[in-house]
Chains A and B, each alone.
Chain A
Amino acid sequence: MKAVVCFLIGSLAFVAGGSAAFAAQTCDFDITGTWESSPAAGQEASQARYRFEPNGTVISLMKVSTGGSVEWRERTDPAFFLYRLDKPKAPTSIELIDQDGVTSRTTMKISRFDQDSFATLDANNEPMPWVRVDPKRHFVMFAGRAGSVQSGGPSFAMLMSTENGRSQVDAFGFYPTEEAPIVGTIPSELRRKFLNDPRVVEDVMLRVEVTGTEFARAQTVMRNWQRRENEGRMLYDVPYLNNIVFLEELTKSLNQCGEKLHAKKLTWSINDPIISKRNLPQVSYYYIKELRQLNAPQHVADKEFRQRTDVRCAGSCS
Chain B
Amino acid sequence: MDRRQVLTGSAVRTPRSVSKGPDYYTNAVLRTHDNKEVRFYDDLIKDKQVVINFMYTQCEGACPLTTANLLKVQKALGDRVGRDIFMYSITLKPWQDDPAALAEYVKMHNVGPGWTFLTGDQFDLDTIRFRMFRWDHPGLDFNIEQHTGMIRVINDPIDRWSMCPTNAKIDMMVKAISWVEPTKPFKVRQEANLARQALIDAQGTLAYNATT
Which listed residue, A2, A13, A16, A227, touches B172 by the CB 8 Å rule?
A: A2
On whether A14 and B172 interact (CB within 8 A), knowing A6-B164, A266-B138, the answer reads no
A20-59 CB contact bits vs B (8 Å, 1 = yes)?
A: 1111100000000000000000000000000000000000
* Residue A164 interfacial (CB < 8 Å): no
Within 121-171 of B, Cβ neighbours of A (below 8 Å) are at 122-123, 126-127, 129-130, 134, 136-146, 148-150, 163-168
Contacts of A72 in B (CB 8 A): none
* Residue B102 interfacial (CB < 8 Å): no
On whether A268 and B137 interact (CB within 8 A), knowing A9-B165, A13-B167, the answer reads yes
Closest to A21 in B: B144
Contact-size category for B: 35 or more
Give the CA-CA distance A2 to B173 in the complex, in Å: 11
Give the CA-CA distance A14 to B149 in the complex, in Å: 7
On whether A233 and B26 interact (CB within 8 A), knowing A6-B172, A10-B164, A23-B122, the answer reads yes
**CB atoms of A7 and B164 under 8 A apart:** yes
Within 262-283 of A, Cβ neighbours of B (below 8 Å) are at 266-269
* Residue B176 interfacial (CB < 8 Å): yes
On whether A6 and B165 interact (CB within 8 A), knowing A14-B149, A233-B26, A236-B134, the answer reads yes
**CB atoms of A235 and B164 under 8 A apart:** no
B84 shortest CB reach to chain A, Å: 22
B67-83 CB contact bits vs A (8 Å, 1 = yes)?
A: 00000000000000000
* Interface-side segment among A63-71, A121-129, A190-198, A238-246: A238-246
**CB atoms of A236 and B136 under 8 A apart:** yes
B134 shortest CB reach to chain A, Å: 7
**CB atoms of A13 and B136 under 8 A apart:** no
Closest to B93 in A: A24
* Residue A258 interfacial (CB < 8 Å): no
Main secondary structure of the interface of A (DSSP, over half): loop
Contacts of A200 in B (CB 8 A): none
* Residue A297 interfacial (CB < 8 Å): no
Which listed residue, A14, A15, A268, touches B138 by the CB 8 Å rule?
A: A268
Give the CA-CA distance A233 to B61 in the complex, in Å: 30
Within 204-250 of A, Cβ neighbours of B (below 8 Å) are at 224, 227-228, 232-233, 235-238, 241, 244-245, 248
Which listed residue, B138, B163, B176, touches A244 by the CB 8 Å rule?
A: B138
B185 shortest CB reach to chain A, Å: 23
* Residue A177 interfacial (CB < 8 Å): no
Which listed residue, B138, B143, B149, B163, touches A241 by the CB 8 Å rule?
A: B138
B125 shortest CB reach to chain A, Å: 9
* Residue B95 interfacial (CB < 8 Å): yes
Contacts of A10 in B (CB 8 A): 149-150, 164-168
* Residue A3 interfacial (CB < 8 Å): yes
Contacts of A269 in B (CB 8 A): 139
Closest to B140 in A: A268
Interface residues of B (CB under 8 A from A): 23, 26, 61-62, 92-93, 95-96, 122-123, 126-127, 129-130, 134, 136-146, 148-150, 163-168, 172, 175-176, 179
Among all A-B residue pairs, the 5 with the closest Cβ atoms: A10-B165, A268-B139, A18-B145, A24-B95, A15-B61
Q: List 17 A-B contacts (CB under 8 A).
A: A6-B168, A7-B164, A7-B165, A10-B149, A10-B165, A14-B145, A15-B149, A16-B143, A20-B142, A21-B92, A21-B129, A22-B142, A23-B95, A24-B93, A235-B127, A236-B136, A268-B138
